[in-house]
Structure 1
């Protein structure tokens, strides 16, 4: 039986990752603390009124240096500490100090890309890549399959999944579409495969592109998908080490 190996959240979309040990999932919501904020660029129409697609935000796909940011969401849920190997740490309340956050991330934006313009937060939901509140579930065996064919070690952080499961056959997750997965006390409905952009090609330690994972997936497996999206349908707590069962 599969087990829950890792849980990750991303308080500011594309601007930092944080590993956590457990989470209380609520039906119809994304992972608590995940993508609370996003940074809209200067040509974007994204605002605080509704969900917007990822193309409206400053993100790793266009600015790989962002991939090296780590984050710690404070207990108040309103303050986050960001760290990057090339910058001093920043502790900021994005809702109250948006300019401070924008000034810190602006030098990490790639040359020629639209500059960070404003901090966006949509009340009641995280700014996940899907139009519906979702979690991304990864299979560590699939990750190891990519490593094996590529002949090198890859950090799982590249894929920016929320939940990593282990003790499964590689690529089994693609057979879960429309099915329900029970993890700890929660249940999630798997909705679709996760199509990929160039973000995973950025090394999460250096913030520099060091591979073409999108092209590699296409060359080796004839698709550009990795991980699956899921919706929480039964509220409950999940924790590292929980069993996971697909029905």
Structure 2
């Protein structure tokens, strides 16, 4: 395969203004060296303890991804199922989230050097996932629904299935270009219990994670560093640089 050959194109772009809440599909994604602009600026915490949501390990947080989040002119808004968009952080947003979850919760901004920060997102700020891997997961677990929202990617790349393979897992250390942006693929994305949680349109499914444990060493998708910032758009071509 030549360095200039197109290997896929962008199918969808996502950011997650509030960690664990629903993601926001984008028409264009400005990528900086620290990730998608506006990604994971806020978190939701247990108001009684200040502990951040852990839906991967604590069932009380399983409904959280059903709370929608978006940025409107740079300001966060959230919406619980059946509710209206509310500015956050705010008393109204906290009240709506608490009522939906069944316990006191609060939206808070991540702050450097405090107990509420998100260092786990700094190591590799972009998560890339291919439709080829989603198709392989479906082939390995035909009864499941590998909706990309289970995996919270920033960039979903459309490419043909490679039977028996999760292709991007084999690209570690490689450099790619997507439109005007350049990325280095640094790590596999090790999946956690978040992937099994039901959201609007698909149900709880523990076999999603069990399949990835058996078939791809717990992994799906890859983490990337941004080596040349810029804006990515749907249908932008992806190619290898090395």
Q: TM-score range by the shorter chain?
A: 0.7 to 0.9
1:188 pairs with one of 160, 183, 188:
183
Q: Distance in 2 between matches of 1:100 and 1:129?
A: 29
2:204 pairs with one of 186, 204, 209:
209
Partner of 1:165: 157
Q: Distance in 1 between matches of 2:106 and 2:87?
A: 17
Q: Deviations over 1:114-136 (max 9, x none)?
A: x635613236xx94733335011
Where does the alignment leave 5 or more consecutive residues of structure 1 unmatched?
A: 45-55
Aligned CA RMSD, in angstroms, stands at: 2.5
Partner of 2:218: 224
Q: Distance in 2 between matches of 1:106 and 1:206?
A: 23
Partner of 1:49: none
1:226 positional shift: 1.1
Contact residue 37 and residue 127 of structure 1 kept, 8 A: no
Where does the alignment leave 5 or more consecutive residues of structure 2 unmatched?
A: 1-6
1:31 pairs with one of 33, 36, 60:
36
Q: Distance in 1 between matches of 2:131 and 2:108?
A: 33
1:40 positional shift: 3.4
Normalising by structure 2, we get a TM-score of 0.81
* 1:26-105 alignment, distance < 5 Å: 26=32, 28-41=33-46, 42-43=48-49, 57-61=52-56, 62=58, 63-74=61-72, 76-80=73-77, 82-85=78-81, 87-94=82-89, 97=90, 99-105=91-97
1:187 positional shift: 0.6
* 1:122-201 alignment, distance < 5 Å: 122=111, 127=118, 129-132=120-123, 134-152=125-143, 153-168=145-160, 169=162, 170-201=165-196
Change beyond 3 A, Cα 1:15–1:222 = closer
Work out the number of aligned pairs and report it: 223
Q: Distance in 1 between matches of 2:171 and 2:147?
A: 24
1:231 positional shift: 1.3
Change beyond 3 A, Cα 1:211–1:21 = same
Contact residue 88 and residue 107 of structure 2 kept, 8 A: no
1:107 positional shift: 4.0
Change beyond 3 A, Cα 1:108–1:179 = farther
